[in-house]
Chains A and B, each alone.
Chain A
Amino acid sequence: MNAAVDVKTLIIDGVDVSARADQTVLEVARENNIFIPTLCHLDGLSDVGACRLCLVELKNSPKLFPACVLKVEEGMEVITKSDRLLHYRQTILELLFAERNHVCSVCVVNNHCELQSMAQSQGVTHVRLPYRNPKLPVDASHERFVADQNRCILCTRCVRVCSEIEGAHVWDVMGRGIDSLVITDLNQPWGESTCTRCGKCVNVCPTGALFDKSKVGSSHPKYPDFVPYLNMMREGQ
């Protein structure tokens, strides 16, 4: 049977919903106005299941599943909100805040930051963990943009948008574990890299890690919603 017409019914947070067989739990939840927090997910890009904020519970399973890559199944019972999930989501956000430097008041994207609004929506009022405050480089070699590693949460949206949408694959990740960094080309300065200066990475970056030099000192909203439209236009829909 064609996946487009193969309809599954499932329950999300007690609500009966229907979905196409090829949809993920996250897609179906959003269609039905059920909010599941995400950071690494971005409509129009491939999913990596890395931020773990979209973890949901399935009835009769002790395991948690990332909603962004969890395909719907007939009769599935999904729970997206529980004390346990909230605690995990808050702790993951705390881990992010403590990992590098996320002082909102001096950040160029203050009030336009997904990490900031996510913490507000999840009720993170304080961070129990000690701040690590590593000293990381800021690359301002590009004529238009700046990469501030101290604000990076390694969601890899920039890596994916550059590879999947722009087709340049200038961004990638080097190092591993706590020492991971996003880099341009083979860790050359951004300004000397093969960057096409399209600015997609800056617009999809959820934090102030990638920003536009012209916006410093002013309001710096980001517009990541272009990706699905671009995909639709390319597919001729």
Chain B
Amino acid sequence: MTSEELQQIAETDVAERKEFDYELNVCMALGCMSQHSDKVKAALTEEVARSGKRCHVRQTGCLGPCAAGPLVSVGPTGTLYGNVQEADAEAVVESLGGEPVKRLETHFDHYFHGQHPIVLENSGQIDPEKIDEFIGRGGYLALMQVLTQMDPQTVIEQISKSGLRGRGGGGYPTGLKWGTVAKAVGAQKYVICNGDEGDPGAFMDRSVLESNPQRVIEGMAIAAYAVGASKGYVYVRAEYPLAISRLTVSLREARRRGFLGGNICGTTFAFDIEIRIGAGAFVCGEETALIASIEGLRGQPRPRPPYPAVSGLWGSPTLINNVETFANVPPILRRGPEWYSSIGTAKSKGTKVFALTGKIANTGLIEVPMGMTLREIIFDIGGGIPGGHKFKAVQTGGPSGGCIPEQHLDLPVSYEALIDAGSMMGSGGMIVMDDTSCMVNVARFFMEFCMTESCGKCIPCRTGTAQMFNLLTKICDGEATHADLDLLIDLCDVVKSTSLCGLGMTAPNPVLSTLRYFKDEYLEHIENRRCPAGVCACAGKAIHEEVTA
């Protein structure tokens, strides 16, 4: 593959697209697929053939507002239809070139306004299984540039300059990580893409892999060149069958077009990627556990240091980044680090993909610039709380994060600000809760998650989470005393300070953050045997006398 050939593929794709008067982009990501968007696409294809209109019916990745699925976007007008059923195919095709179908039209202007798609820029516009459509939108241009015009050091400098930080949750500077792996000594190095997304309510990485897998492959190839790796692994959880099948097709396509394998882009650079499927353990998202899992061992973390950058997969220097981090890489190199660092806040650059779920009008996938406030995300983009209920808290960062209440809604979203508020950025799940949610029960839910997902290796996480879960259950059931609450707080400190890996260290966070902002709800359960949200069945339970030690 030379840059002329790349350009030719892009031009051919653009020309092919121009042969059609219209296009119907049917969302075939998992959200809409679960509403049988594949049948809608088949019906639309049939209807287009019958009508004789020059219209291209395309399967695409995520279009955004998942709750309104199955979604169909109409080109070139940009009309977005929601809740499209098979029976609507005739009306949709008939309306092409005329007035849009009123009953299917959606009104998501607020939803898209304020978003800044970089990772998701091709999502919903290209067929994720067709590499040429990706190339037609500027795909693999960055890899070509990097391999033919830059040395590895320059690539790392550009990434450092862009201010990109790890999107998996920790926020470690990506350029610094790449530099460490590049400097590490080893005949063989590896690049791993962490797609073991497991936070409840999070589906960013799944959507990226389903909507634009080539972007992740391109990012990994650039990273491999920068750090000197020749072999890559994408670790995806088995619960994401569609992402795995799209990735499999995409890897084959990338090899066919010469972006993987030997002599990539006509240079001496060789790199190939294999998929590793996780067996359903949340802890395998922790990098050392993930590496153990790829090696075929029990998915348990080990103490760091040594960090994977020095001694990772099979003892070799290994770069591990999250799906979204890799997906950010090609545009940074294509458009320059200055462009990227102009977006976002002082310390958190670029954009972040969030999965909006819970008690919110517009459930779906969004990408916003860092620094946008939670209020804008929840009330402008998310459309606020449905059913006349009142906002209570937003949970970010999954089981490692915390609940942020009303008074912090004007917080600009950045790594530091969220940690200061007692939560964390995490991988991007955002669960909105209204006044029908009991915060003690929410903390209990996340503690149960940590308890069942603990690997069992270190004592504080293995038995501490089980004890905390029992204490939280006791509070919810209206059987707790103040002494139980004190014990819970003490265990939070022990588990947070002494656990081996991030799972245990952050497991108490949902309890600590709800205690910080909603302690009155805990006390209400304990002192008055009353659940303010009416969720827990603790009413009428006897109030035990406190036994003071």
Contacts and interface: CB of A to CB of B under 8 A. Distances in A.
Interface of A: 48-52, 55, 64, 66, 69, 71, 87-88, 91-92, 95-96, 98-99, 128-130, 132, 153-154, 172-173, 175-180
Contacts of A51: 458-459
B500 A176 contact: no
B331 to A, nearest CB: 35
B466 A178 contact: yes
B491 interface: yes
A229 to B, nearest CB: 27
* Candidate in A64, A88, A91 with the most chain B CB atoms within 10 angstroms: A91
A51 B460 CA distance: 8
Given A91-B490, A173-B298, A50 B463 contact: no
A96 B500 CA distance: 16
Contacts of B500: 49-50, 52, 66
A3 B199 CA distance: 43
Interface of B: 281, 283, 298, 302-303, 305, 451-460, 462-467, 470, 487, 490-491, 494, 497-500
Contacts of A88: 494, 497-498
A176 B491 contact: no
A175 B458 CA distance: 14
B456 A180 contact: yes
Contacts of A50: 457-459, 500
A129 B463 CA distance: 11
Nearest to A62: B497
Mostly helix, strand, loop or mixed at chain B's interface?
A: helix
B467 A98 contact: yes
Contacts of A66: 303, 500
A98 to B, nearest CB: 7
A111 B490 CA distance: 30
Nearest to B470: A130
B303 to A, nearest CB: 4
A48 B297 CA distance: 14
28 contacts: A49-B302, A49-B458, A49-B500, A50-B457, A50-B458, A51-B458, A52-B498, A55-B498, A69-B303, A71-B305, A92-B459, A95-B463, A95-B464, A98-B463, A99-B462, A129-B487, A130-B467, A130-B470, A153-B459, A154-B462, A176-B281, A176-B283, A176-B453, A176-B456, A177-B456, A177-B466, A178-B465, A180-B456
A175 B454 CA distance: 10
- 9 closest A-B pairs by beta carbon, nearest first, are A180-B456, A177-B454, A49-B303, A95-B463, A178-B466, A99-B463, A91-B494, A52-B498, A177-B456
Given A48-B302, A52-B498, A64-B498, A96 B459 contact: yes
A37 B460 CA distance: 16
A159 to B, nearest CB: 10
A69 B494 CA distance: 20
Contact of A52 (B305, B459, B467): B459
B460 A95 contact: yes
B454 A176 contact: yes
B148 to A, nearest CB: 41
Given A64-B498, A92-B498, A99-B463, A176 B455 contact: yes
Nearest to A49: B303
Contacts of B457: 48, 50, 154
Nearest to A91: B494
Contacts of A95: 459-460, 463-464, 467
A71 B298 CA distance: 25
A155 B500 CA distance: 14
Contacts of B281: 176
A5 to B, nearest CB: 21
Given A172-B298, A176-B453, 5 more contacts: A49-B302, A50-B458, A91-B494, A173-B298, A176-B456
Contacts of B462: 99, 154, 177-178, 180
B160 to A, nearest CB: 25
A128 B451 CA distance: 20
Nearest to A154: B456
A177 B498 contact: no
A164 B31 CA distance: 48
Nearest to B494: A91
A92 B455 contact: no
A173 B456 contact: yes
B302 A92 contact: no
